[in-house]
Amino acid sequence: MTADTVTAVDTVTAGDTLAATGPITGPATGSAAALTFDRLRRHLSPKLALTGGFAGRGAVEAGAEGCRVTLSDGRSVLDFGSYAVTLLGHRHPAVAAAVRRQLETMPTSTRSLANPVAAEAAACLAAYLGGTLPKVYFGLNGADVVEVAVKLARLATGRSRVVAVEGGFHGKSAGALALTHHPLYRRGLLGCTVDVVHVDPADPGAVLHEVRAAEVAAVVLEPVQGENGAVPLPAEVLRRWCADAEQAGAMVIADEIQCGLRRCGERSVALAAGLPVDAVLLGKPLGGGVVPLSALVCSERLYAPLAADPFLHSATFGGHPLSCAALPAALDAIEELAPHGHRLSLLLDTALERLRADNPRVVRAVRGAGLLRGIDLASAQAAGTVLAELAGAGLLVSPCLSRPTTIRLLPPLVSTAGDLAEAVRILDAALAAAGR
């Protein structure tokens, strides 16, 4: 962190009580940025102020459009991060218009009367995935739908054990945390309520071993592990796991909250590979980067407990009209941009391979698929240097919290070839700096 950043973070002191009580309105100025950091320290977390100050060099978000974010100091930065939410960039016009129309009509639901917006969104999403998984449950974030998927699998099968995968990430709420593999998030919280065993992603016989050892309700997997550094799981292993789970009567749940919806090229990575899954979990860009939305899309068998009792698992804002209004517009936009995304991914293949070849002392490997990529660096220190250089040069990326040697690239579908070339130039300079 630079001295300028520290100065910006510390500008507003604890004595500025009156100034700190007023709202921030209009474009964020330098003083408003300082006020933001002070409020973060006081009311959220001092470390959020530090990390935000580091990433923005003392500035805060002031606006965004497409794959560009405007900062309070006037700079424009390229957003290839946002943890996979902004697949359509910021404020995609068709999605924003759909949400605006709903806002002017009926922004929330009574939860007693039937809501046509949620019903249309569910039908649209089931059709989008080909109709083989007809049932839908809407949440607001990924952990919401992980929780309900595992709950339904246990109820539908009458079994308790769940098989998850080493390196997987499924959320941080109590049930989802049991599936998340990395100890960083589980420290001090052992004894989660879900009986989970984690298996080696390179072992084709791992699921067979587990279903022979105990009755298994579900196997939960990410076809491409995002938080673990954009690691695709071997297709032949996944096919064997699905076959062994199906033979044993266990459900298979594909968590595609990060890798689905054309992020990795396909609407659903699992379904495109022909895997006989009982559910696909979607989220992050499902609300078009405008509103929060996630979904469990599943078979009749998995959904059966909820079909029998729709109040078995419910949430006040599940199927929220504003979020559901965004879904059809978001899916239409994703499909319109999918061919362009494929071309971008081919350009990215070439560019990342060149960066690896040109920086052999720093780059150990490049991984991923489509527009979800991981650059694995020689050390956590090298990764920190690269992140610092990228922040200063105006490229936002998403670090992998559970794999500190890896930097994650998440270009939006709305990126141009010029945007990609700019990102590669910035990356090249940052890698060279780390090499020095």
- More confident site: 322 or 4: 322
Q: Is the pLDDT of residue 190 over 90?
A: no
**What burial class does residue 215 get, using C-beta atoms within 10 Å of its C-beta: 0-12 exposed, 13-18 middle, 19+ buried?**
middle
- More confident site: 314 or 107: 107
- More confident site: 174 or 133: 133
Q: Is the pLDDT of residue 20 over 70?
A: no
Q: Is the pLDDT of residue 175 over 70?
A: no
Residue 7 CB neighbour total at 10 angstroms: 12
377-397 confidence digits (pLDDT tens): 999 999 999 999 999 999 999
Helix (H) or strand (E) holding 146: helix 142-157
The per-residue pLDDT for 26 is 44
Among 170-184, 217-231, 377-391, the range scoring the smallest mean pLDDT is 170-184
Q: Does domain 93-334 have CATH number 3.40.640.10?
A: yes
Q: Is the pLDDT of residue 22 over 70?
A: no
The per-residue pLDDT for 401 is 81
Question: Over the chain, what is the mean pLDDT?
Answer: 90
Minimal CA–CA distance to 259: which of 285, 236, 279?
285
The per-residue pLDDT for 31 is 86
The answer to whether 372 and 224 are in contact (CB under 8 A) is: yes
Alpha-carbon distances of 46 from 28, 36, 397, rounded to whole Å:
20, 12, 22
The per-residue pLDDT for 402 is 84
The per-residue pLDDT for 170 is 80
pLDDT-based confidence at residue 25 (cuts at 50, 70, 90): very low
How many helices and strands (H and E) does the chain possess? 16, 17
The answer to whether 245 and 207 are in contact (CB under 8 A) is: yes
The per-residue pLDDT for 115 is 95
Q: Is the pLDDT of residue 184 over 70?
A: no
What average pLDDT does range 355-366 have in this prediction?
96
What average pLDDT does range 216-220 have in this prediction?
97
85-99 confidence digits (pLDDT tens): 999 999 999 999 999
pLDDT-based confidence at residue 24 (cuts at 50, 70, 90): very low
Q: Is the pLDDT of residue 347 over 70?
A: yes
What average pLDDT does range 333-349 have in this prediction?
98
Q: Is the pLDDT of residue 16 over 60?
A: no
Percent of the residues in the chain that have a pLDDT greater than 90, as a whole number: 84
What average pLDDT does range 292-315 have in this prediction?
95
So where are the chain's domains? 1-59, 93-334
242-287 confidence digits (pLDDT tens): 999 999 999 999 999 999 999 999 999 999 999 999 999 999 999 9
Q: Is the pLDDT of residue 14 over 80?
A: no
The per-residue pLDDT for 183 is 63
97: Cβ–Cβ under 8 A, 6 or more apart, which residues? 329
Q: Is the pLDDT of residue 9 over 90?
A: no
The per-residue pLDDT for 185 is 54
Strands (E), 351-429: 363-369, 372-377, 395-396, 398-399, 406-409
What average pLDDT does range 305-311 have in this prediction?
94
What is the b/e burial string over 399-421, where b = at least 16 CB atoms within 10 angstroms of the residue's CB? bbebbbbbbbbbbbbbbeeebbe
The pTM for the full model equals: 0.89
